[in-house]
Structure 1
Amino acid sequence: MITMRVRVFGGLRLWRAGIEVELGPARQRAVLAVLLAARGTVVSTSELVDAIWGDRPPDSAVNQVRRLIGQVRRLFEPDLPNREDGAWVKPMGDGYRLSLDARVSDLAAFFALVDEARAAAGADAAQKYEQALRLARDQPFAELPPALTGLPAFRAIETARVQAAVEAADAALGEPPAHHLLPLLQAYAAAAPLHEPLQARMVRLLTAAGRRAEGLAHFEEIRRRLADELGADPGTELRAAHLDAVTDPETPDPARPAQLPLRVAAFSPRPDLADGMAAGRGSGLIVLNGMGGSGKTALAVDWAHRIAGDYPDGQLYLDLRGFEPGGRQLRPVEALATLLLSVGATPNGSADPSALGAQFRSVMAKQRMLVLLDNARDSAQVRPLLPAAPGCLVVVTSRNRMPSLVAREGAWPVHVDRLSSRASKDVLALRLGAARLAGEPAAADRLVRLCAGLPLALSIAAARIAVSPRMSLNDVAAELAPAGRRLDGLATGEQNDDVRSALSWSYTILTAPAARLFRLLAVHPAAAISTGVANSIAGADVRAALTELATANMITPLGAGRNTMHDLLHAYAAELLNDDARDRLEAERRLVVHYVHSARNSYVAFRLRPPLDLDPPPDDVFAAFVPDVAAALDWYDRERAAVLGAVELALNRGWLREAALIQLHLRPVRSVRLDLTADDRRPGERTLRGIEALGDLELEALMLREMAIQLKHVDRASAHQYLFRALAIAERRGDLISQAHVLRVLASSPTTSGQDRHRDYAERSVAAARQGGDPSVLAYALNVLSIVLTDSGFMNEGAAAIAEAYALAEEAGMTDFQINVALQRASWAYDMSEDALAVEVGEWAMAHSPPGNILTLYSASWLLAKVYHRLGDAVRARTAADLFGELARRHEEALAETFSAEKLAKEQADIDRVLAEPASAKGGK
């Protein structure tokens, strides 16, 4: 059975098979919430109507509820047929019931743990209560409207949470140490400030923990709130707790530190990291690493408060200032002296960190303490500060990945990455309120996208809106939109308190080579950056610099020699590079030349003669190595965005020849990938206009043919005009190879002139290719001629042409083209009713096709579906037809721009017949 998980605490969320499911519009979410809040009891249709519409339901309310129930069912079971009962949401009389056990629902797990706690005693009870309260710490059904969460079923859940906190406090007071659950219970008490039984227990817990002054202050705060908000005095229970605190003889233990900083207001939890951090507790040393502004400190402080009760001897906090703007990091001697004083010990006066470290370890030897070392520079700064006591937990935050600490001390690394879009919205909602976001949903989405998941950026954007009531979300998003001004919009106006400053602190500690590479990477036009491209951008081998940048979290490794840079880091790098126009220009030139030669290498991998002769790449350019067709396709898949970005960059810089060369050399991989779209044609049109002005006839003819190929099925008139212009140039220059190519495209282009003209073009193409002496060009020309001849009914002549094309391709090692020719042979065999040969050759073509060769899979599945159908093999016919249908749906737009509408319609009609008609008995299946 597919695993399900439903969360209500902290917001309504649902996961199916580990993947979060979008819960749909507000009313659908409301129905799910009401069913969950009912906790397995039946919810009547009338109750659902009241919950959604209140006292003004529409006439169609009941029908709408039925439809919404069906949609909720499909959240759990997306393939559930209409009107069929599912396994999760079941109709019961005039209502519905959703039953989820503790393995699926955090709400069910909370109530189960509370029941277990009530049945237990002593330490076991306290432990169960703690588990329940940690699970339910966040507000249930957050972001749902108050009109819904004010219903009795929802209020009952909130009441149960507070009651569980009261009972947990009683259990804690009965078990030493009394303060074990104190940090957790403080969070519950803060959420229910007027609940006197819970507040009374807080006073008692603080007193029992040796924090009588805090207990008295807490009583005074509650007394004042009761008077201000209710006009009432404290009740008997709260007054009794106050009296006991006043007369308590115990005094606080000065040796027990409690140094954790205040939690960040409106902190958004990171449940995606919770498991990793919990797992790391066993190591005794956790490193939270991430780029500046990623929320490491806020996460560490919040989590430390949550688990502080597990460390009864206290909590230490120390800011190591590893990335402070002044560069004044805390030296180990200073840090150790501070830590020793914090635990009530006098430093031995030594200036040797080893001696002080030994003293610190001795003092901590029998302690169970939580130590938070914030903002560490590197492993060397942290290593002397580590206690050796097995009962201690050290949490380190750093922009450095601390690989040495992980390798030598066994530190547990947890990478704090950018927030998801959903989590980013949670941050804004916590800061601004869900209603504010709901009022400008499009602007909220845009703001989330521009802040790129960086908590610091989101917090600053929210702060700007919060302190300026007249400023809308759209206003701030508009300020952040221009890439060159984005960091200006993420400033608070106070020194060293903005995104730019946070990023600069990481940049200033880089070595000179790494800092230079960081700046230069701003010229890269895509998110993923390969090592080879980085080498070319810098003009040297930069693997060591890339490692340094990754360790400093200035780039993020993606594996397989690829990295990515956060959007805001990219903007910061671009700002730095703007100060050196010459360095930028040279890096851009190397980048473009890199893609010229890498694209050329992909072209040559198809065993084709390149369109133009080029000199080898310069020594400071490291073009991609592309040994075969599969590697060429893989290279293009990974680099597509960057390659097209390099074309755009070249055009903007006026490097027209380079822009043309990249596009021309992409022809084979783009053909296989069916990668021709309107957006991709625009750079080609710009390039062609520029080349025409240059007067380079050879390059102009090549670009004319390239644009004609892209346009031949979407703008036939322009395509033919370009081809005739290209042919005229080729004839004027006496370029036989170019003539053969243009005539081949003319022969395969849809026209109104009939097959005779196509045959003329094809035969002229073959003649020019023979005279030009290029076997690869001749093979392509013969392939087109065979298609024209076969379509005209000249089957034997077509077979002879395709056989010669296949022999040439095989001799030249043109494996990819052999596959195309094989499909043409299979098609010929089918037309000649040689079905066994058609199957043999067609299956060979499909088996030898590189992964993802859409053209081959599309054509082969179409042909094999027809052949197997005629052979009577219904199973294989259906399999091939299903593959054809899937490819046709998935690549509909690209296929429409690659083939004529008539061809696509005919092929679809053929498959429709295969699916509609029973297979013949010829094959006996």
Structure 2
Amino acid sequence: MRCEFVLLGAVEVRLDGCSVDVGGARQQCVLAALLLDLGTVVQTDRLIPRVWGESPPLRARATLHTYVSRLRRALAAAEGVLFQGQTGGYRLSADPETVDVHRFHRLLAQARSAADDVDSAERFEEALALWQGEPFARLESPWLDSVRDSLGQERYSAELDLADRGLRCGRHAELLPALRDRARAHPFDERAAAQAMLALYRSGRQAEALAEYQRVRLRLTADLGVDPGSSLQLLHQQILSAAPDIDPPEPVSAPVTPRQLPAAPAAFAGRARELATLGERREPAAWALSGGGGVGKTWLALRWAHEHLAEFPDGQLFVNLRGFDPVEEPVPAVSALGGFLTALGVASASIPPDADARAGLYRSLIADRRMLIVLDNARDTAQVAPLLPGGRGTTVLITSRRRLDALLAAHNVRPLPVGAVEERDSRAILLRRLGADRVDAEPGAAEELVRHCSGLPLALGIVASQAATHPDFPLASFAAELRAADERLDTLGTGELPWSLRTALSASYRVLSDQAAAVFRALGLAPGPDIALPAAAALAALPRPAARTILAELETASLVDQPRPGRYRMHDLTRLYAAELAHADSAEALTRLLGHYCHVAAVAADLLAPGERYRRPPIPLLRDPQSRCPTPTLPSPGSTPNATTSSQPHEPPPSACREWRCTFPSRCTDTSTTAATSRTH
């Protein structure tokens, strides 16, 4: 049965023209929320506040499941309509043409891209005719209210665009009553005022057109303290001088094919696995490339983009969101949307001021186009989400130093971690930048440069640029400068603020919480290639649960990674930067860490030789109260590597505590000096 969904008015579902009962208000909210994100998994954690706001019922998830089940039964006979329960959410699949909101957006996009004003006006009229009243009438939730407002702004913008077409087609007399009513209903809208003035003037009512200008000018001056804009003032001067032919308001430009990609990286090498992963063609395709500063995320995205340009004939959009820029503030989503709309051919006068309205227009314009969108250097999910398209033919590449877990959970975005490049690929980068003759002439020095740059493309690029600037210097001289660990970060700089490894790391560090920053500094002191959670907790003087939470924040920020469960490591150059920041409190942190290791060793020794524990001398570090930590869990002697047991301290012999070398004397309570001493540890 043919199904039609009405959202631009009271929520209604029609099967072959007959209305279907889709339940009460909350159940209709569920239907509306799924229809607006048609074909996309809406996570339960997002769906609940959409339906109930900030005060959901205690059993909201169960109630939500019941609502979806009822809707599935009510629409079981609808052709092409499918409700699916996905991991953590729900998806409603249907033809977008059966949903009036999606049809409205398609018609708007067609109207704005039409070749002539007559065809454009017909599309606008068809789109506006879909409105049957206030969207989601009689339904209330904060989220629906915001969507309702956004749709209302899109409708108002479409009405203004339609009036532009009508005026250019000479329909000023027909449109005049509606234009005057709109100008009075929106007294601060200079575009509405200009349309009314032009219609009055063309109808032979010059004095009334001038009076309309004075009304708007006085209102703006009295209420806002500003004068009319330059375009309205110019129109006033033209009417005042009785110009024979006054141009109508500026038309919306025809859509163009944007080509905004920066140049492909010349020295790119390797990344075969990542490139192959990005090549997995699924629709919609959206990838979040995450990794530390300088690891080459943008290079990877641009390399793949340029290799696949033919797949995106409708253009490519690129924006540097400056999420971790050392100089500039992050680009707000509303500004990025404005740039995209301009690139898509929308005239500045037709770009809505509101972020939601801009997002709706942006999605409408690219809904049926095969485009690539690169969102580079994103700060967080809130900055990225409004820039995600709704169409199926668009591919999105997002790069960020953060993992953007919320984006992955709430949208159909897949993660792609980007780590250091392999050693052979690092050498290939040097070869491409410096030439085979120079690299092959000093193979040992070249290998040392590769080793000290630790697979970080930014570091390799800086070293290569320094060597290229001094072609007569031996590579060994640059390797010698990198050899000293305490000077390595100074060497890996170009003198320009954004192109410095220390600056790149600082940009990630300065957005950490105070506690995460303290743990980051402490981790720079830890010896060895990685560190276990209990040791990290001791190093940072934190309980294990708190340490685990902070380490998760650092992992999300790509400042540490977790190669195995419970073990954490830093990139070598990141560790150098962290150690630089940690000098002030390094002694206390290292004392805590050594105390932890001594404690683990003591517990292990008790497991291996329990009879020797009372003859071993005490470990001085363990008498420091700061080094106290929970008893570790270690494998029992003779057990398999995966079989672990929690080893508890053995009971001391029946003698005074001072005769027993207590592992934790400051935590020992000696209640008697007799053989019946009672102790708690």
TM-score, structure 1 normalization:
0.40
Look up the match of 1:872.
none
Spell out the pairing of 1:127-142 with structure 2 (5 A cutoff).
Answer: none
Q: Match of 2:524, SS?
A: helix
Task: Provide closer, same or farther for how the CA distance between residues 389 and 405 of structure 1 changes in structure 2, counting only shifts above 3 A.
Answer: same
Q: Which amino acid aligns with 1:539?
A: A
Q: Residue 337 of structure 2 contacts residue 358 of structure 2 at CA under 8 Å; is this kept in 1?
A: yes
> As a proportion of its length, which structure holds more helix?
1
1:396 aligns with 2:401: no
Could you tell me which residue of structure 2 aligns to residue 262 of structure 1?
Answer: 263
Deviations 1:531-558 (A, max 9, x none): 1111111101321211111011000111
Match of 2:528 in 1: 526
Partners of 2:292 and 2:638 in 1: how far apart?
Answer: 33
Residue 280 of structure 1, CA deviation: 6.2
Distance 2:411 2:400 in 1: 16
CA shift digits 1:502-559 (9 cap, x unpaired): 1111111111111111111111011111111111111013212111110110001112
Q: Is the 8 A contact 1:284 1:392 kept in 2?
A: yes
Equivalent residues of 1:605, 1:632 under 8 A apart:
no
Look up the SS of the partner of 2:377 in the other structure: strand
In structure 2, do the counterparts of structure 1 residues 527 and 282 end up closer, same or farther at CA, with 3 Å as the change threshold? farther
For 1:319, the equivalent position in structure 2 comes to 320
Is structure 2 residue 622 aligned with structure 1 residue 628? no
Find the aligned partners of 1:461 and 1:506 in 2 and give their Cα distance.
22
Judged with a 3 Å threshold, the aligned counterparts in structure 2 of structure 1 residues 617 and 543 are, in CA distance, closer, same or farther, namely farther
**2:596·2:627 contact (CA, 8 Å) conserved in 1?**
no
- Name the structure 2 match of 1:565: 570
Give 1:405's aligned residue: 407
SS in 2 for 1:279: coil
* Percent of aligned pairs sharing the same letter: 39
| Mapped partners of 1:280, 1:502: distance in 2 | 33
Q: CA deviation at 1:382?
A: 0.5
Counterpart residue number, 1:538: 540
**Matched residue type, 1:592:** L
Instruction: Give the Cα separation in 1 of the matches to 2:337 and 2:452.
Output: 42
Q: Which residue number in structure 2 is paired with residue 576 of structure 1? A: 581
- Contact 1:605–1:626 under 8 Å retained in 2: no
Q: Which residue of 1 aligns with 2:285?
A: 284
Q: Hey, what's the Cα distance between the residues in 1 that align with 2:402 and 2:282?
A: 20
8 Å CA contact retained: 2:267, 2:433: yes
Q: Which residue of 1 aligns with 2:486?
A: 484
Task: Write the letter of the residue equivalent to 2:384.
Answer: V
Corresponding residue for residue 476 of structure 2: 474
Q: Using the alignment, how far apart are the partners of 2:566 and 2:557 within structure 1?
A: 17
For 1:288 and 1:478, locate their aligned partners in 2 and report how far apart those are by CA, in whole Å. Answer: 34
TM normalised by structure 2 equals 0.54
Cα deviation, 1:155-213, whole Å, max 9, x if unaligned, reads xxxxxxxxxxxxxxxxxxxxxxxxxxxxxxxxxxxxxxxxxxxxxxxxxxxxxxxxxxx
CA distance in 2, matches of 1:555, 1:297: 20
Q: CA RMSD in A?
A: 2.6
- Within the alignment, does 1:275 sit opposite 2:296 as a pair? no
Pairwise mapping of residues 109-188 of structure 1 onto structure 2 (< 5 A)?
A: none
Superposed displacement of residue 332, structure 1: 1.1
Is this contact kept in 2: 1:259–1:315, CA < 8 A?
Answer: yes
- Contact preservation (8 Å) 1:280, 1:286: no
Establish whether residue 548 from structure 1 lines up as the match of residue 550 from structure 2.
no
TM-superposed deviation, 1:622: 3.3
Structure 1 Cα separation of the partners of residues 493 and 297 of structure 2: 20
Contact 2:284 2:393 in 1 (8 A): no
Q: Give, in whole Å, the separation in 1 of the partners of 2:530 and 2:598.
A: 18
TM superposition shift of 1:256: 0.4
Which residue number in structure 1 is paired with residue 617 of structure 2? 612
In structure 2, the gaps of 5 or more residues are: 1-252, 643-658, 662-681
Bigger-Rg structure (1/2): 1
Alignment counterpart, residue 600 of structure 2, candidates 598, 601, 618: 598
Q: Name 1:362's counterpart in structure 2.
A: 364
User: Tell me, what secondary structure is at the counterpart of 2:523?
Assistant: helix
Determine the C-alpha separation between the residues in 1 that align with 2:509 and 2:441.
Answer: 38
Name which structure has the greater RCO, CA cutoff 8 Å, separation 6+: 2
Per the alignment, residue 439 of structure 2 pairs with 437
Q: Corresponding residue for 2:41?
A: none
- Residues 1:358 and 1:375: Cα distance change in structure 2 (over 3 Å): same
Q: How far, CA to CA, are the matches of 1:281 and 1:417 in structure 2?
A: 24
Distance apart, 1:479 and its partner CA: 0.5
Q: State the Cα deviation string for residues 331-375 of structure 1 (Å, max 9, x = none).
A: 111111111111112465544422221221111111111000100
* Amino acid aligned to 1:275: A
Equivalent of residue 381 in structure 2, options 379, 382, 386: 379
Find the aligned partners of 2:638 and 2:452 in 1 and give their Cα distance. 35
One-letter amino acid of the structure 1 residue matched with residue 457 of structure 2:
P
- Displacement, 1:613? 4.1
* Residue 302 (1) aligns with residue 303 (2): yes
| Correspondence 1:74-89 to 2 at 5 A | none
Preserved contact between residue 419 and residue 453 of structure 1 (Cα < 8 Å): yes
Q: Structure 2 CA distance, aligned partners of 1:616 and 1:560? A: 31
Distance 1:457 1:624, change over 3 A: farther
* 2:430 aligned partner, one-letter code: L
| Amino acid aligned to 1:468 | H
Give the 3 Å change call, closer, same or farther, for CA 467–338 of structure 1 in structure 2.
same
Provide Cα deviations, 1:627-676, integer angstroms capped at 9, x if missing partner.
433699969xxxxxxxxxxxxxxxxxxxxxxxxxxxxxxxxxxxxxxxxx
Contact preservation (8 Å) 2:375, 2:396: yes
| 1:380 CA displacement | 1.6
